[in-house]
Chains A and B, each alone.
Chain A
Amino acid sequence: MEQLFELRSPEDTTRFAETLAPLLNAGDIILLEGPIGAGKTHFARSLIQALLPEPEDIPSPTFTIVQVYDGPDCEIWHSDLYRLGHPDEAIELGLDEAFEAAICLIEWPDRLGDLLPASALSMTLETSGDDTRTARLTWSDPAWTPKIEGVAL
């Protein structure tokens, strides 16, 4: 299944993330794709901030690979796998367990190889024009359908 959203500004992306955030549950995984500067971290930061009971620093995970936050119902994992050398390292990081128990936002998910979870929502940010982004959402797990419909409304 696929759905496109046009995001006309960084603020639009923020609103989009804030609408999606409360619909997420433990075990939901969002794979963020798109080139550098597409707004992957911006989207993730907005979504995490919307879930946190109190505002917190949300640093870029590029250097630390994973940043974990305590959400209201479960942990939120924000990871940037760009620096990962081998998919096995994702297991060392505990990502496979987080896939079950946390809300996971994964940048550069192609580094996961065979470990890519089939139940994940894939969100590809494409640049079109100056500040406009097209978010292409694709999924095969039907559990995502009502959530995406919830955002589209």
Chain B
Amino acid sequence: MSDLTILGIESSCDDTGAAIVRGTAGNARVLSNIVMGQAELHAAFGGVVPEIAARAHAEKVDLAVKQALSEAMVSLSEVDAIAVTAGPGLIGGVLSGVMCAKGIAAALGKPLVGVNHLAGHALTPRLTDGLTYPYMMLLVSGGHCQFLIVRGPDEFIRVGGTIDDAPGEAFDKVARLLALPQPGGPSVEARARDGDPKRFRFPRPLLDREGCDMSYSGLKTAVLRARDEVMTDNTLTAQDQADLCAGFQEAVTAVLAEKTRRALRVYMELNPSQPMIAVAGGVAANQAIRAALTTVAEEAGAGFTAPPLKLCTDNGAMIAYAGLERFALGETDDMTLQARPRWPLDKKSAPMIGSGKKGAKA
């Protein structure tokens, strides 16, 4: 099969991205990957100031596309198809990207390919490591946390996930509780290095329950309670802070490791020819978690990979690649492509319901 050149556009959350990817399914390379974000700005404000406005995406998306083309030294006429995130995400942002992609596709008479943002994340290990189907995916990006068995570009089986907060969010919120800078992942990890993980015994939510579902909201509350118990005069000693971080990180690691072990068991029953687990998202950058997951993979007889962080945060390259896989199968969309705020990857598996469920109604 000859090489395809795909333009990918992503604007479903805070960042605006555009990229050019060239190659074939399972063997493609990133020619350019432009992300116009505000991560640096966020840190300066202690919190996060998101680019929520559709207008902000709309203003940047053209520039991102232009820059992606020039950096890749590719002209629009050389592009075979335009791939764009059509959801899930903040609807204003998604719309901006979809409108831009439709405009380019219509002007050039090129095919349009709508991509599920989560599929973009889930297919990234095919782009970075050329993994073969089926592989196991632990997706822990931004607000997401789920185990997926990826069987094809459009075939995902969700074997579990968080029923409330994502671990990345728990790290951010624990950082807020402990007066540590955002983003919380790196700052909690850094403080945890000086702490005693055994001093505070935090719960391992849902560990006693079967299956691969996880819960992190209660853990955050447990940290809050422990903090309030050790605080005197509204201040926390550096050691308390470090110990709380270490105990929290150990609890997250223990839960993720055990649930990954179970998810891998389900996956290995499929007898994959080249068993692999890929962990994508900021949480994979945490050394303690990464080490634990590597061990779990080894024990299960599967290889471990974590795509580079640049391709795990929101970006256009993963959308271009996911679009490439769809396009290679002859799948395209027309001008009726709609932006979707919610779009689960696996419609068949039961939704993850928190403790707020109504009972066994469904």
Q: Footprint of B on A, CB under 8 Å?
A: 10-11, 14, 17-18, 35-37, 39, 41-42, 45-50, 54-60, 62-68, 82-85, 89, 92-94, 130
Q: Is the CB of B92 within 8 A of A36?
A: no
**Sorted from nearest, which 9 A-B pairs have the closest CB atoms?**
A46-B356, A63-B143, A37-B224, A85-B49, A37-B221, A45-B356, A92-B53, A49-B356, A57-B351
Cα of A58 to Cα of B354 in the assembled complex, Å: 8
Supposing A45-B164, A63-B169, A84-B52 touch, asked if A36 and B220 sit within 8 A by C-beta, the answer is: yes
Supposing A36-B224, A130-B225 touch, asked if A89 and B177 sit within 8 A by C-beta, the answer is: no
Q: Is the CB of A92 within 8 A of B52?
A: yes
Residue of A nearest to B143 (CB): A63
Q: How far is the CB of A108 from chain B (nearest CB, A)?
A: 10
Whether B55 sits at the interface, judged by CB under 8 Å, is yes
Interface on chain B toward A: helix, strand, loop, or mixed SS? loop
Q: How far is the CB of B286 from chain A (nearest CB, A)?
A: 18
Cα of A57 to Cα of B345 in the assembled complex, Å: 12
Q: Is the CB of B351 within 8 A of A56?
A: yes
Q: How far is the CB of A85 from chain B (nearest CB, A)?
A: 4
Cα of A36 to Cα of B165 in the assembled complex, Å: 12
Cα of A45 to Cα of B218 in the assembled complex, Å: 14
Residue contacts A-B, CB under 8 angstroms, 24 given: A18-B358, A36-B176, A36-B220, A41-B164, A42-B356, A49-B357, A55-B351, A55-B353, A55-B361, A55-B362, A58-B353, A59-B144, A59-B166, A60-B164, A60-B217, A62-B165, A63-B142, A64-B143, A68-B341, A83-B47, A83-B52, A92-B52, A92-B54, A92-B92
Contact digits for B38-82, partner A, Cβ 8 Å, 1 yes 0 no:
000000010111101111000000000000000000000000000
Cα of A5 to Cα of B89 in the assembled complex, Å: 35
Q: How far is the CB of B356 from chain A (nearest CB, A)?
A: 3
- Candidates A58, A63, A64, A93; contact of B356 at CB < 8 Å: A58
B47 cross-chain contacts in A, Cβ below 8 A: 82-83
A57 cross-chain contacts in B, Cβ below 8 A: 344, 351-353
Which residues of chain B in 318-362 are interfacial with respect to chain A, using CB atoms and an 8 Å cutoff? 341-342, 344, 350-358, 361-362
Cα of A94 to Cα of B55 in the assembled complex, Å: 13
Q: Is the CB of B358 within 8 A of A55?
A: yes
- Candidates B144, B224, B225, B354; contact of A45 at CB < 8 Å: B354
A35 cross-chain contacts in B, Cβ below 8 A: 224
Whether B99 sits at the interface, judged by CB under 8 Å, is no
Q: Is the CB of B361 within 8 A of A59?
A: no
- Candidates A18, A37, A49, A68; contact of B354 at CB < 8 Å: A49
Q: Footprint of A on B, CB under 8 Å?
A: 13, 45, 47-50, 52-55, 89-92, 142-144, 164-166, 169, 172-173, 176-177, 217, 220-221, 223-225, 341-342, 344, 350-358, 361-362
- Candidates B52, B177, B357; contact of A36 at CB < 8 Å: B177
B176 cross-chain contacts in A, Cβ below 8 A: 36
Q: A46-B354, A50-B356, A57-B352 are in contact. List 16 more A-B contacts (CB 8 A).
A: A10-B355, A14-B356, A37-B224, A41-B164, A49-B358, A55-B353, A55-B361, A59-B143, A63-B143, A66-B90, A67-B342, A68-B91, A82-B47, A83-B50, A92-B54, A92-B55
Cα of A47 to Cα of B351 in the assembled complex, Å: 16
- Candidates A37, A54, A56; contact of B177 at CB < 8 Å: A37
Supposing A60-B164, A63-B143 touch, asked if A55 and B357 sit within 8 A by C-beta, the answer is: yes
Which of A14, A55, A84 is the most central at the interface, judged by chain B CB atoms within 10 Å of its CB? A55
B358 cross-chain contacts in A, Cβ below 8 A: 18, 49-50, 55
Q: Is the CB of A89 within 8 A of B90?
A: no
Cα of A65 to Cα of B53 in the assembled complex, Å: 12
Q: Is the CB of A54 within 8 A of B13?
A: no
Q: Is the CB of A11 within 8 A of B92?
A: no
Cα of A82 to Cα of B52 in the assembled complex, Å: 12
Q: How far is the CB of B40 from chain A (nearest CB, A)?
A: 15
A63 cross-chain contacts in B, Cβ below 8 A: 13, 142-143, 166, 169
Residue of A nearest to B174 (CB): A36
Q: Is the CB of B217 within 8 A of A42?
A: yes
Cα of A50 to Cα of B225 in the assembled complex, Å: 28
Q: How far is the CB of A78 from chain B (nearest CB, A)?
A: 12
Cα of A55 to Cα of B357 in the assembled complex, Å: 8
Cα of A24 to Cα of B5 in the assembled complex, Å: 51
B350 cross-chain contacts in A, Cβ below 8 A: 55
A18 cross-chain contacts in B, Cβ below 8 A: 358
A37 cross-chain contacts in B, Cβ below 8 A: 173, 177, 220-221, 223-225
